[in-house]
Structure 1
Amino acid sequence: MSWIKEGELNLIEKISANVLKAGPMPKHVAFIMDGNRRFARRNNIERQEGHTQGFNKLAETLRWCKHLSIPEVTVYAFSIENFKRTKDEVDGLMELARQKFERLLEERDNLEKHGVCIRVLGDLNMLPHDLQQLIAKAVITTKSHNKCFLNVCFAYTSRYEITNAVREMAWGVEQGLIKSSDVSEPLLSECLYSNNSPNPDLLIRTSGEVRLSDFLLWQTSHSCLVFQSVLWPEYSFWNLCEAVLQYQLSHKSIQKARDLHREHQASLQLEADRVCVAEHLQHHGNGKPADVQRRQEALQHYTTCRQERVQDFLKALKHKRDSYFTDLCSDGVQA
């Protein structure tokens, strides 16, 4: 099945969508697509067929999101923990991924038409090399599209992502790009796999499980979390509308929490900068206290230099990550 499912909403769905869109709408929705295996057992079909129908439901859900003016979707496609499943199931999931990314490359004109940008978040080194190459081609092929974004979390867990972000900052310090004093919560956010995306407004998990299973733990600290009992292959437009309505009902409190957190982060950064400046002035001031103007000028200068260091580091990090995908594509061409 295609990644992009064409088709309009029926009349009742259109009316409902327009009513919902009169209120605050999430700009980024994340899905834990749970229940494929239970769906297969319940319907006496092969487990692999359950996963296939789960992918088909994703394509349909992306269509609904498009009609609801939700421009960004993130999905939990394959957890690092899933490698612990039976070899047959893991091999089947890898083969399904191959088929779907091959299909995606065949549909590049349709993806360009709809402006769909595909990003894959996770440690791709854990995957078979040929699948890595397919994913890299898909990412690079759709890189310039900017109307809607699909983030596929593959070979991913949130704790692994956060650990990797810490490693990236350590690399920046080792390379002399940043100082250890530049390390902060906002900088860690910029080092996550998801650094190109705003944090999800709404996270939905299907199948009735009430846990996040190590998915976007950092990014969803101020998101609306909705747990629904329906199995993923049976998900409907009305299930999505219900989740969006729950988001709208909690929108004000979520926005207030985000604003307070943003102010707190800015306050912490200002205090950290002041501490660094005070230490510098004490070390280079011959024991004489600096006046207010000198302290203010020093603070302004330090803040500017820190911001420049951080931006240079993030550019270097982006180049390193982009090179990984470019090199994989080059390997495929040479092969």
Structure 2
Amino acid sequence: MSWIKEGELNLLEKISASILKAGPMPKHVAFIMDGNRRFARRKNMERQEGHMQGFDKLAEPSLVFQTLRWCKHLNIQEVTVYAFSIENFKRTKDEVEGLMELAKQKFERLLEERENLEKHGVCIRVLGDLNLLPLDLQRLIAKAVLATRAHNKCFLNVCFAYTSRYEMTNAVREMAWGVEQGLIQASDVSEALLSQCLYSNNSPNPDLLIRTSGEVRLSDFLLWQTSHTCLVFQSVLWPEYSFWNLCEAILQYQVNHKSIQNARDVHREHQKLLQLEADRTCALSAEHLQRHGNGKPADAGRRQEALSHYVARRQERVRHFLEALTTKRDSFFTDLCDGGLA
């Protein structure tokens, strides 16, 4: 089965999509794809077959990188899916090994479709601690990421070997590494910098998060990124998810759009004020004034000059640190591929 299917919406779906697009539309939708095992039990099939049905659903026209069908018509440019939690490693050995093998098959199939991915401009990112995965699967993932990284029409983020708490812990480690390397100072650490050190640093926060199967919890998924996101919990099992289920979730997003945007604006302004106050405190420290004011009491002009100088230096440090972090992460994938995609 192809990861990307061609095709158009039927007439009723097209009309519904047009009506939806008259209102505010999410640009980034996240999915917790829950219900594969329950689907398997209900259909009296083995768990592995249930997971296969779930992965095959991922290859139907509901998600950006597999089909582009629904998302193209609904103007959804980015999709993030929770494919495998670190907690899933606690399942039985046979089930975990089966899921790893299934993932290998899907990424192998994906690599066979590079031309199709390029045609649709699909960029694939895999978020998580790939070191926890079998080496052959790591290499397949690295090849898929590198093969599509220049594409920019739509984006699919696959959270694999992932939990949000692990992601945040790793972001703190990255900042500590930056301090140890002398790239940034401890005073440069901020909420904004932590966000830029997350696995998802290249993506805007999701506008809409959907969980299927009727479970009403986030299960350690994108906890940092969804503080101002519309959360929709639907009872449908993931292998049975449809275009109409997605439309229902988008309607809920539209109903709550104004309050979500207001909350985001308030948070953004609050963070700007916090950063300004932190910069002012650092800039006006005794040591800084000693360097830039010759130890004399600082007048308003000198204080503003010190603040401007400090902000410029901080921004430069942070920029170099983030460049180094990007290089380190890119090297992980290129090293896995032994220097190429051949």
Question: Do they superpose with TM above 0.5?
Answer: yes
SS at match of 1:94: helix
TM-score by length of 1: 0.97
Task: Give me the whole-angstrom Cα distance separating, in 2, the residues matched to 1:4 and 1:198.
Answer: 24
**Match in the other structure for 2:330:** 322
SS at match of 2:94: helix
Percent of paired sites with the same residue: 83
**Match in the other structure for 2:35:** 35
Summarize deviations over 1:132-185 as a string: whole Å, max 9, x none: 000000000000000000000000000000000000000000000000000000
**Match in the other structure for 2:19:** 19
Aligned match for 2:166, one of 146, 160, 178: 160
Task: Give me the whole-angstrom Cα distance separating, in 2, the residues matched to 1:313 and 1:25.
Answer: 34
Task: Give me the whole-angstrom Cα distance separating, in 2, the residues matched to 1:37 and 1:296.
Answer: 61
The alpha-carbon deviation at position 46 of structure 1 amounts to 1.3
**Aligned residue type for 2:138:** Q
Task: Give me the whole-angstrom Cα distance separating, in 1, the residues matched to 2:341 and 2:31.
Answer: 34
Aligned match for 1:190, one of 183, 189, 196: 196
Aligned match for 1:293, one of 301, 304, 313: 301
Matches within 5 A, 1:34-73: 34-60=34-60, 61-62=62-63, 63-73=69-79
**Match in the other structure for 1:304:** 312
- Alignment of 1:233 with 2:239, yes or no, is yes
RMSD across aligned positions (CA):
1.3
Task: Give me the whole-angstrom Cα distance separating, in 1, the residues matched to 2:321 and 2:208.
Answer: 31
Task: Give me the whole-angstrom Cα distance separating, in 1, the residues matched to 2:341 and 2:49.
Answer: 32
Task: Give me the whole-angstrom Cα distance separating, in 2, the residues matched to 1:17 and 1:303.
Answer: 46
**Aligned residue type for 2:218:** L
Matches within 5 A, 1:114-263: 114-263=120-269
Q: Which of structure 1's runs of 4+ aligned residues deviate more than 2 A?
A: 280-288, 331-334
Q: Tell me whether 251-260 or 280-289 shows the greater mean CA deviation.
A: 280-289
SS at match of 2:220: coil
The alpha-carbon deviation at position 66 of structure 1 amounts to 2.2
Summarize deviations over 1:64-111 as a string: whole Å, max 9, x none: 122211010000000000000001100000000000000000000000
Task: Give me the whole-angstrom Cα distance separating, in 2, the residues matched to 1:196 and 1:331.
Answer: 23
**Aligned residue type for 2:36:** N
**Match in the other structure for 1:81:** 87
Summarize deviations over 1:186-237 as a string: whole Å, max 9, x none: 0000000000000000000000000000000000000000000000001111
Residues paired across the two proteins, number: 334
TM-score by length of 2: 0.95
Gaps of 5+ in 2: 64-68
**Aligned residue type for 2:301:** Q
Summarize deviations over 1:247-306 as a string: whole Å, max 9, x none: 011011101111111111110000001100111345555763200000001100110110
**Match in the other structure for 1:99:** 105
Task: Give me the whole-angstrom Cα distance separating, in 2, the residues matched to 1:293 and 1:210.
Answer: 55
Gaps of 5+ in 1: none
SS at match of 1:330: coil
Task: Give me the whole-angstrom Cα distance separating, in 2, the residues matched to 1:2 and 1:121.
Answer: 22
Q: Is this contact kept in 1: 2:228–2:263, CA < 8 A?
A: yes
Task: Give me the whole-angstrom Cα distance separating, in 1, the residues matched to 2:34 and 2:142.
Answer: 26
Taking a change above 3 Å as real, the CA distance of residues 282 and 331 of structure 1, as seen in their structure-2 partners, is closer
**Match in the other structure for 1:274:** 280
**Aligned residue type for 1:56:** D
